[in-house]
Structure formats: structure tokens, C-alpha cells
Amino acid sequence: MVFKMNKWLSNLGLSVILLLLVACSNGNDVPTTPNYPPNIFADVSGSYDMHYKGLGKLFITNSPSYGISITSFYRDSLGKTYYLGLNVYFPGGKLTTGTFPIVSQAPDSSKIYGVAFFEVGNASYKQTFISYSGEITISNVSNNKIEATFKFLAKDSDKNSVMIENGSLLIKEE
């Protein structure tokens, strides 16, 4: 049980670090119009209704747990910034394709799973929705590319919720 708890805590720690990186951004360092075309798309409904089209970045982690992190942003014409992030953990140490659950906590230290978030805000206010249900289907993955579809349900600390559907991403790092 200690190993499983430590593994869960390390995975939770990676998710918290990703959220803190996004949350600590003051919003002013995010360009209004990315220099590259969007590579992450999704339909958002619930507390926010929009078609998300963000510019995403792929990060491969191998310590303390092996996984991928994808963060993306979109800023509208009113200056409101939207972030979408996905983390997928590969306990076996190998990137692989397939359909995996998106959850709020690690289901088992030996299974592949994802954690996701959607955040809305500006320099003075942020609202963060954390996944509690969903799935990601990875059709192509390597150390510099990922192609996937996803959907998830998420809620904030006040129990407001969003549904992220028809999500797709194709990120190639040069």
C-alpha cells in the first residue's frame, strides 16, 4: 500500500505542478494570436460554452513517473484566457496507443490513466475545472508527436462543471 500511495502522490504531484505553472501565469505572457495555427480543438459546454482552439505544447516526463503533459491556451478578443491541459501517465515506462480513462485520482499504479483540466481567467481571476470522468484515445505517440481524441467532465471547487467533447489534438515538436 505504501508503494501505491507513493506512486499516486508522485502522479498527483506532477498534475499539481502543471496546474501551478498555468495558475501562476499572469496572463500577460500569453500572446493574443499564436504564431502557429491551433493544434488542440474541443467543444466546451456547461459553465462556459465555446469551441476551444488552442495552441498546445507536448512535454515528456520521466521522473518521478513516466508520462506526457500537454498544455494549451487560447485568448479571446476581450482578453480572457482559456487553458486546457491533459496529463497521461504510463507506469510501465513506455509510450503506447489505446483508449485510457481520464479521472481525478490514480485508479491503480499499474494502469495507464489521464488527468485533465480546463481553466478560464485573466490577470486577476482564474476558475479551474479538474477532470473527474472521461477518456483519451491516443492513436499515435512518440517522443516528439502525439495524436489523440478526448472528452472529459470537470468541476471547480464550487461544483460548477464543464463538459469537454469532440476534443482532438495533433502536436509535433521539432
Domain ranges of the chain: 2-172
Per-residue pLDDT tens for 76-108?
888 889 999 999 998 878 889 999 999 988 777
Q: Specify the pLDDT at position 29.
A: 39
Rounded Cα–Cα distance for residues 47 and 55 (Å) = 22
Checking if the pLDDT of 14 tops 50, the result is no
